[in-house]
Amino acid sequence: MLSPMMAARAYAAAQNGAKPSAGGASVSEEGPDFGAMVTHAMNDVVSSSKMVEHQMAAHTQGKAELVDVVTSISSAQASLETMMAVRDQVISAYQSILNMPI
């Protein structure tokens, strides 16, 4: 489940580099393009998953605490759920555009 705090963090991350214009809409002059933002988000999800694997391996070797493993699993799950929510919104927007009359 996506909590309000996770949604706020995702929104803040998406707004990095975007500057508000006079009309209230945000204009990204030197910020990354949409593809770069999606690539960055996917890399974050992959890196958090790898961190979980390392934490689990360290715990089985007795080098990490269980609370660290649980925390990293929770963080990776939040990242994955956020990415899935964004994916669902992008697909929904794409389908809305396809259904627009010409």
Q: 15-64, pLDDT tens digit by residue?
A: 665 544 444 455 546 666 888 888 888 898 999 999 999 999 999 999 99
Q: Over 50: is that where the pLDDT of 12 sits?
A: yes
Query: Can you give the pLDDT at residue 53?
Result: 94
Average pLDDT, the chain: 81
pTM score: 0.61
With 0-12 / 13-18 / 19 or more C-beta atoms within 10 angstroms meaning exposed / middle / buried, residue 91 is exposed
Query: Can you give the pLDDT at residue 7?
Result: 63
